[in-house]
Amino acid sequence: MQFFRNRLRARVALESLVGVNTPLLIAGGFMAVRPQEFDWTLLSVLAVASVASSVATAVRMRREVEPVAGVAASLRDFVQHGEWRPVAHRPYDEIGLLARAADSVVETTLDLRRSRDDDARRDVLTALPNRPAFMEMIGEREPASLALIEIDRLKSVNELYGQSEGDDLLRGFAAFVAEKIGPSGVLARWSGAEFILYLDEDDPDRAREAVDSLREAVASATGISQHRVTFSAGLVAMSGDIDLDSAAAEELLHAAKNTGRNSVMTPMLAIDGGAGQLRELSESFDTDMLLSGT
């Protein structure tokens, strides 16, 4: 049997063959030691019956163990390729129990994998998409409008009332804004007190109105925190290069903060209010694109 130690079906067939033919071997040996009573007819009948029985038993046993081989092959494919193919089986015998146990283990593994992947794409504190997830989501959408938002004076809240109070404010702000923008927008935690917002609006005027309405709603809301909450934002019309767009929005956010906070800054507003409010932009920025916002 050592030769077939890695072949379950071969071992079952061989053991069936030996087991079925044991009576024939015993009868043949008994007749061999008593030649005067040797009955060739009887031996022939026994041989034919044994061979037929062996073949039938081997076929039947192979069918019985087929689900075990199927479970093994499916588990191997799942480990190597992440693909699971459920195996047909009788529901209540031992092989059925084995197959159901394999199904349960694989389903639990898939649930844990999905949970792990989902956790890796979400900010732990706010449950919003994190930066990598946002970049991936935006890559699947048409360029429209992008706003980088920062909660005003969150550092002061942390210093005066503690980190826990600041965390509560962040969670409340994230939930409030996410509900306000609805399913057409995408809000993500960018870093610290910063959030990034994709608006499915390619008209600069309407995009600015939408973000400004959001700013007013946040400033007048009473359920976000026990402290009054405002935010500053930099808004740009997207070019299709998310790295360039987010960098431009950050420059405009700095301009909004420098003008007193609680405001939405666009390229035209920054220039109208004095070009000195903007830090020097990289030469790689497309000026026409930056000025497409109002």
Any idea where the domains of the chain sit in the sequence?
2-118, 131-290
Contact at 8 Å (CB) between 49 and 20?
no
Q: Report pLDDT for 1.
A: 45
Q: May I ask the CATH class of domain 131-290?
A: alpha beta
227-245 mean pLDDT? 93
Which segment, 79-83, 104-108, 162-166, is predicted with the most confidence on average? 162-166
Burial class (CB in 10 A: 0-12, 13-18, 19+), 292: middle
Residue with the bigger pLDDT between 47 and 230: it is 230
What is the average pLDDT across 80-102?
Answer: 75
Given a cut of 80, is residue 231 above it in pLDDT? yes
pLDDT greater than 80 at residue 191? yes
* Higher per-residue confidence, 14 vs 152: 152
Q: For 273, what's the count of Cα atoms within 13 Å in the CB-facing half-sphere? A: 17
Question: What is the rounded distance in angstroms from the CA atom of residue 161 to the CA atom of residue 156?
Answer: 8
Average pLDDT over the chain reads 80
Is the pLDDT confidence value at 160 over 80? yes
Please state, in angstroms and rounded to a whole number, the distance separating the CA atoms of residues 32 and 86.
Answer: 53
* Residue 149 confidence (pLDDT): 97
- 135: three-class secondary structure by DSSP: helix
pLDDT of residue 282: 40
Q: What is the pLDDT of residue 25?
A: 62
Rounded to whole angstroms, what are the CA distances from 90 to 107, 253, 255?
Answer: 20, 65, 70
Confidence label for 215 from pLDDT (cuts 50, 70 and 90): very high
Of 85-89, 99-103, 229-233, the one with minimum mean pLDDT is 85-89
User: How much is the pLDDT for 7?
Assistant: 61
- The band of 75, judged by pLDDT with boundaries at 50, 70 and 90, is confident
Residues 266-288 pLDDT 10s: 988 766 654 444 444 444 444 55
How many helices (H) and strands (E) would you count in the chain? 10, 5
Nearest CA to 180 out of 210, 144, 136, 155 is that of 210
Q: Which residues contact 291 (CB under 8 A, 6 or more apart)?
A: 267, 268, 271
Q: How many residues does the chain have?
A: 294
pLDDT of residue 126: 94
Specify the pLDDT at position 130: 93
Percent of the chain with pLDDT strictly greater than 70: 70
**What is the structure's pLDDT at 40?**
66
Residue 294 has pLDDT above 60, yes or no: no
pLDDT at residue 42, as a whole number: 63
Task: Check residue 280 and report its DSSP letter.
Answer: P
10 has a pLDDT exceeding 80: no
264: which residues sit within 8 A by CB, 6+ positions away?
A: 147, 208, 211, 212, 215, 232, 233, 234, 235, 256
pLDDT confidence of residue 280: 46
pLDDT value, residue 69: 76
Render 65-82 in DSSP notation, one character per residue: HHHHHHHHHHHHHHHHHS
Q: What local confidence, expressed as pLDDT, does residue 33 receive?
A: 62
Whole-structure pTM value:
0.62
CB burial of residue 279 (10 Å; 0-12, 13-18, 19+) = exposed
- Tell me if 207 sits within 8 A of 201, measured CB to CB: yes
